[in-house]
Structure 1
Amino acid sequence: MQRLWTLQEGRLAQRVYFQFADGPVELRKLFNSILQQAFPSRAALAANTEITMSYRAIKFHTFVEQKEILKGLYEGIIATRDAVMSRGLSKDSDEALCLSTLMDLDPTPVINAPDNEDEKMKALWAMIPKVPLSLVFSRAPRKLPIPGFCWAPSSFRDPIPHDIHDWWAGPDELWKRIEAEPTESGLLVELPGLILRSTHAKDGWSNALDMGSNYIFQLPDSRWIGLGLGEPWSQLTKGTNPEKSPEPMALILQNNSLTERVHENFNKSTVIANDIPSKGLLVGLVASVKRVENNEYYVAGLQHAQVMELPPNVSTMFSAAVSAAHKLWERLTPESPDPEVIKECITVAKEAMLDRKVLDACRNQRRGAGVDESDDEICI
């Protein structure tokens, strides 16, 4: 149960026995008997399904019998990860070789790769034609430090997750979408996203609405989203600060629930170049845009993120604030910060904020916070 090589020996053998005190039991015979018996309870169903998955997990290809037996439970790479993550090796570079035989892949490219753990894992990933889309958002602590393959976890083992979500492979709901294609340029995926631009700040988002590691952006249809930056996408992107970059950033999202109503979203193929979970929150990836070519966005992953659409009332108030700010910028210049200009700016801003929709939104927010005052001056 602790060694990766013994798992391979058991999986590749024609007949496998478990020796008990009262005699040996053949695994295949046990497996077949499980499939034929009626499940007496939900607990037995869960236990037998787990045994079935563990037995079949290391087969990478989805056979007809596996589809029938496991239905939607079979997840290929993810099941392999579950089977091997607690096992050890004396030599880490053996992992890719062992996995290639377990997955029914030709081990020759792995054998011929340089005797280096990362190079051998690159050879393994390069042989797999399609991988789960969830790997775009993988939070594996170590990824391959190789251009074009920084999206790929450098090991199927460790760490063992402490909760139900194993973020080694990203969001659960994307596990079964085996649609991402490894290429020498990066991981080719098709996911919804947005381009983040800083309208008035020359040095990124920091001069806009800076709220620590959280930022807000206005969508083309006037809705607002909140974006919280998370940990680096890989060990190579530690210390990067996408919020300070003047360059356009791509925000790749796990689904289109946010962008389906946006007129200027991009939902095209994206090549993620790699040379460098609660309700209402979307998993995202902030990446720098390298180039756009033939309707494909080439981007480099930087940081994990979580995204949420702000409530309508809050969006209304932010829109009013932006409108007021634009009018202030038109009047206030460094050359003329005299009291009369400042007074005029305050008047203009107040007029913008006294819009009926803004006041109604403000009152609703105050009621929600348990404040009864409805005076317009207090609201402003």
Structure 2
Amino acid sequence: MLNASIREQFPILDQEINGHPLVYLDSAASSQKPIAVIEAIEDYYRRNHSNVHRGVHTLGTQATDAYEGARERVRSFIHAAVPEEIIFTRGTTTAINLVASSYGDANVGEGDEIVLTPMEHHANLIPWQQLAKRKGATLRYVELTPDGRVTLDAVQAVLSDRTKIVAMSHVSNVLGTINPIAEVARLAHEKGAVMVVDAAQSAPHRKLDVQALDCDFLAFSGHKMLGPTGIGVLYGKKQLLKNMEPVEFGGEMIDYVDLYESTWKDIPYRFEAGTPIIAGAVGLAAAIDFLEEIGLENVEAHERELASYAIEQMKTIEGIEIYGPEDRVGLVTFNLKDVHAHDLATVLDMQGIAVRAGHHCAQPLMRLLKQSSTARASFYLYNTKEEVDRFIEGLRQTKEYFNYEF
């Protein structure tokens, strides 16, 4: 287990909710921020703020150095080959939409196929639905095992010579399933398709190596990994990005502008129109520093231990149904029989315990589970075993609140 003193670095956690000490178990939706990240953003605005890439004055140079330094920090974090493969976006959603609109529109045609899974977050589903509608392409879905896993046999069953894109979450935000991305990428490449990875739920918790995964595109968000909101990353292989057209136009991304024609800068700048998310990039770099100082392998082990302990305790509570495979990341999605997930979450909140409730932006998966909504407890590096105990006690009190009987 990680040192409990880590929690002290997160000032928001030192408060009471409804008269109880806060137990924050919703990090899969958005993580809390350590002092180091908050101070890095504050210091940027206090001392170094300017626009980037344009001015020759000292503040402009300092801001540019901070912004491009953050790009290099992200490159190192995911083991990309060169900084040019890192594009800053508003988040995972924007990054995937960029790929669908730029690469997708140029490379997917009528009758082509896009392969997905039913476990995808809407951000890695709707952009491909819209692309298929625009181009007359077909969506094909990998069948999941009963416990919510992807097998290579199931992937092979839907791949064909018409497959152009395979888009898959690295980790399911509902089931906690860890998908075999490197192996799926190999199968996709054998068909001449590209592999797009939604890493929103893996980047905060486990080491990423895009070259080992051999994915063609990978997206993640800063706010789920201790960073600020409004900043995300799209990784793309250099040669693919160089052949892609921008989808936003304006300042910063241009090379030459005439009254009737314009040309674009090289990557990554052609995909970062306008004033970029400078403070967000600075905050993301500070978050990466914080995570790597602790060690992603230690973060992952800590969360898995908490989730395993939570599941063990939850199984002693009659009426709890848990979804997903045994091998999972640090989250648990569940329901309490005959109690709506929103009602369950509301009663837990009365006890100061924050969990997620709803369809988790994964409505097709909910229908596969035959549920309209579920509750989800997600753990991160600042959570403790004592908080899991409070969560379990909270579930027991919730049963009593509803006068729960079988």
In the superposition, the TM-score normalised over structure 1's length comes to 0.25
- State which structure, 1 or 2, has the greater radius of gyration over its C-alpha atoms: 1
Q: Which has the higher contact order (CA 8 A, sep 6+)?
A: 2
Structure with the larger helix share:
2
